[in-house]
Amino acid sequence: MKTLIYGTDNIKVLDYLSELKKKYKNEQTYNLTGSIDVNDIVEYLQGTSMFASEELICWRPNKKTEITDEILTFIKDPLSKDLIVVVLENLPKNSKLFKFFDQTKQFTGDEKEKVFPLLDTISKKQAKLSVKLYYKLLQQQNDPIYINSMLFYQFKNILHAKFQTETFNLINPFVKSRLGSVVNNFSEDECVNIIKEIYFVDLRLKTSSVDNEVLVLNLILKIINGNLATAQYV
């Protein structure tokens, strides 16, 4: 199976990628990022074919990656392996990539762009405006689970910005530009604790009978007030 996932809503693209990868063990996945040398890949896979456990090739090109004829030939026949290609931007309708995949999935950024003002105000610790924007998103039928996932996206990116990771270099320039003014508002430890709390809230959103809107609102206020260790959910 050959799958192309693309679009400007990076979090949904990567979430969908995670779902697809769940049926493979870590040692069964051959992960590639950026520009690739097809000859090296083929040599590796063929040279270890008797012993290798890889069943999935996952490739994430970046904006500087040139899609050569060699790469297209490899995509057409990835040595009997499953292949997932992840492009974190929209593709033109006439992109030559489309014809080589069994299935394609696009995630646009329209919904995500609506939540950016809320992410900004939370990251700037502006409680009153954050509450106002949060309820505005709810009135626009945005799911609290989705808003919580975007909080994870925001604080994960803040950590990437702090460490200047390779992933940070691949983040959409628009998203990067919004991180610059907030990256120093939280320490590394605070970001890690916030991400843990977001994960905990995600579990409760999906399993608890507590009002989802209240759960996420309390999380937002806890992040802004910096009392993750002491505040309790209603």
**How far is it, in rounded angstroms, from Cα 135 to Cα 87?**
32
pLDDT category of residue 109 using cuts at 50, 70 and 90: low
Report, as an integer, the average pLDDT of 110-125.
85
Predicted local confidence at residue 52, as pLDDT: 52
Cβ–Cβ < 8 Å for 10, 110: no
Q: State percent of the chain over pLDDT 90.
A: 34
Which helix (H) or strand (E) element contains residue 3? strand 2-6
Lowest mean pLDDT among 138-142, 155-159, 165-169: 165-169
> Per-residue pLDDT averaged across 86-101, rounded?
84
pLDDT for position 230:
40
Q: What is the pLDDT of residue 96?
A: 83
User: Among 35-44, 69-78, 208-217, whose mean pLDDT is lowest?
Assistant: 35-44
pTM for this predicted structure = 0.56
Contact (CB, 8 A) for 139 and 108: no
Average of pLDDT values for 33-50?
72
CA 178 to each of CA 44, 87, 113, 153, 194: distance values in angstroms, whole numbers, following the listed order: 40, 21, 12, 13, 19
Top pLDDT among 2 and 96 is at: 2
48-57, 79-88, 95-104, 177-186: segment of lowest average pLDDT: 48-57
**Distance (Å, rounded) from C-alpha 71 to C-alpha 35?**
10
> From the CB of residue 124, how many other CB atoms can be counted at a distance below 10 Å?
13
Give the separation between CA 164 and CA 61, rounded to whole angstroms.
Answer: 19
User: Is a pLDDT exceeding 60 seen at residue 199?
Assistant: yes
Q: Residue 54's closest CA among 32, 86, 76, 85?
A: 32
Q: What is the DSSP letter of 29?
A: E
Cα distances from 91 to residues 5, 112, 152, 234, in angstroms, run: 10, 18, 26, 44
Average pLDDT rounded to a whole number, residues 73-82:
84
In order, the DSSP letters of 50-97 are: TT----EEEEE--TT----HHHHHHHH--TT-EEEEEESS---TT-TT
The domains of the chain, with CATH numbers, are 2-106 (3.40.50.300), 110-225 (1.20.272.10)
Lowest-confidence region among 47-56, 139-148, 154-163? 47-56
Range ranked top by mean pLDDT from 9-23, 132-146, 169-183: 132-146
CB neighbour list of residue 208: distance below 8 Å, 6 or more residues apart: 215
- pLDDT of 91 reads 82
Examine the pLDDT at 50 and tell me if it is beyond 60.
Answer: no
The share of the chain scoring above pLDDT 70, in percent, equals: 91
What gap in Å lies between CA 52 and CA 50, rounded to an integer?
6
